[in-house]
Amino acid sequence: MPDEIRRRRRILDARTRELARGGRSAPAAPRGTAQLLVETGGTVFGVPLAATRGVTPAGAVAPLPGTHPAVVGIAHQAGRFVGVIDLSAALALPAAERAGFLVLLRSEPPVALAVEAVRGTATPEAVAEAGRAVGDGARAGGSAGGAVAGHARLDGPAGGAVTLLDLPALTAPLFPLPLAFPKGVTS
């Protein structure tokens, strides 16, 4: 029993030191956080899989005047009206050729990300925290103010890198009220 108490004390001490440093030692998306890999503006992004409701081919989107330029309109998906965010515009990346898919998010109110392509799912290994450059010299987060949670390396034969998104930070400047996401979706 004394070994168990010492082990718990070591864990508690390590956590206390981490919190005292501002919790910055933890990677943005630790190994084991599944990501939906999407491509837009020539960059591959990771959307936390737990934050997605589904993926559907992009259909008709009705314009919604008076909104942020990245909010391209509303679409009718799965019996609900969904706000549609152009991911390229939200991140100040080069305009997408065309939105091929809508990634439906688990948010209230419901929103979807318009992306060019969906590459699949992966559990990437985080290699850098937020604040690094993305795309063609664009600042991390672009006009969305810090929407990049970090960067990760993809294992396997395809390899490569992925930019991890912080969905609450991405959507905050786009809507007058914050969206509600499932617990644990923040960076």
pLDDT band at 14 (very low <50, low <70, confident <90, very high): low
Is the pLDDT score of 46 beyond 60? yes
Q: Name the class of domain 31-174.
A: mainly beta
- How far is the first Cα of the chain from the last one, in angstroms, to the nearest whole number? 36
Classify 117 as helix, strand or coil.
strand
Chain position carrying tokens 């990346």: 93
pTM above 0.75, yes or no: no
Is the pLDDT score of 21 beyond 70? no
The 3-state secondary structure of 119-182, one letter per residue: EEEECCEEEEECCCCECCCECCCHHHCCCEEEEEECCCCCCCEEEEECHHHHHHHHCCCCCECC
| Cα gap 164→185, rounded to integer Å | 12
Give the residue-averaged pLDDT of 145-153.
82
| Cα gap 19→14, rounded to integer Å | 9
Note the pLDDT tens digit of each residue in 69-123. Answer: 999 999 998 788 999 999 999 999 888 777 899 999 999 999 999 999 999 998 8
Lookup: tokens for 4? 């168990």
